[in-house]
Amino acid sequence: MAQWLNATVSETIYWTSNLFSIKAKTGRLPFIAGQFVRLAVEGPEGRIQRAYSLVNPPDSEHQEFLISTVADGLLSPLLQQLTPGDTLGISQPATGFFILDEVPDGDNLWLIATGTGIGPYLSMLATAEPYRRFAHIILVHSVSRAADLAYKDLIEGFVAQHPGQLHYQPVVTREPHPGALQDRIPNLIASHQLQQQCGQLLNPKSQVMLCGNPQMITDTKALLDSMGLKKNLRRTPGNITVEQYW
Ligand code: NAP
């Protein structure tokens, strides 16, 4: 049974006019990196709630969420208006199976995200587990505009702490950007551009996590399947572990 905690918003970060982060404080909440909670606020017609992944590492004193404002959404426009000192409902316990415990070992780990799907990976990459288990980790973040590359500095900090082990590959689909590839993820994989740019193989010895846009997940899964990578199930371990965001 979910319990609701009243958290106090401590900070808001506006990456763009429709992409923002909220930090809130309730004290330390137990969870596994990659899991989500529900956020709730009181709207004009009652309480509105929706699931969001925790961006912060599990040992943090605050909880952090990366949110895109859905123009006709019920909750995200209200969340965007929150300011420090406001109250935010956070459900407990955190849940979800998009966690490294569910991912078998492999030669390398591809963490592939679109948009706000980068969130759970930031929590995982702040823990020791991916670096302990995988010789090479490749974080791929696809966004439409370069301004949407949230948490770039944090990610570059992780890369500096794990040189040669963690590779960060931004993808900016709608404009050229230095260091970024400029095509949708399935096209980049099919053309081997992504693998070449990252200097890593993507084959049945790889593990792949996919998070974000549901169509990106469907298309990428089908392509990977044709390359011999199978969905990871508890009874039949495979290569692909997914989290759809809407
Ligand atoms: P998005 O449209 O998912 O785009 C992010 C990146 O994913 C872009 O690089 C985009 O490429 C790429 N992409 C989109 N479809 C793809 C596909 N089929 N295969 C491969 N790559 C694909 O961006 P977003 O800002 O996260 O979400 C946009 C809209 O989704 C929101 O405005 C809202 O209507 C809806 N939505 C989002 C959420 C959320 O949590 N993020 C929740 C509910 C609804 P292109 O630039 O080529 O499109």
pLDDT tens-place string over residues 28-81:
789 999 999 999 998 888 899 999 999 999 989 999 999 999 999 999 999 999
The model's pTM is 0.96
Distance 195 CA to ligand 1 centre (A): 22
Question: How many other CB atoms are found less than 10 A from the CB of residue 162?
Answer: 14
Number of domains comprising the chain: 2
Residue 115 zone, left/alpha/beta (φ > 0; ψ -120 to 50; rest): left
Question: Is the pLDDT at 119 greater than 90, yes or no?
Answer: yes
What number of other Cβ atoms are within 10 A of residue 228's Cβ?
10
Which CATH number characterizes residue 219's domain? 3.40.50.80
Is 21 in the same domain as 76?
yes
Q: Is 140 in the pocket of ligand 1 (CB under 6 A)?
A: no
> Are 122 and 8 contained in the same domain?
no
- Mutational test site, ligand 1, from 144, 182, 194, 242, max ligand atoms within 8 Å of CB: 144
| Ligand 1 atom nearest 143 alpha carbon | 9
Q: Residues 151-188: pLDDT tens digits?
A: 999 999 999 999 999 999 999 999 999 999 999 999 99
Q: Do 115 and 41 lie in a common domain?
A: no
State the CATH number of the domain containing residue 77. 2.40.30.10
Regarding whether 220 and 174 lie in a shared domain, the answer is yes
106 plus 223 within the same structural domain = yes
Considering the domain architecture, whether residues 70 and 105 belong to the same structural domain is answered as no
Token couple for 16: 């763009």
Calculate how far, in angstroms, residue 143's C-alpha sits from the geometric centre of ligand 1.
Answer: 8
Structure-token pair, residue 98: 């998009």
- Domain of residue 214 covers 100-244
Residue 13, pLDDT above cutoff 80: yes
End-to-end CA distance of the chain: 23
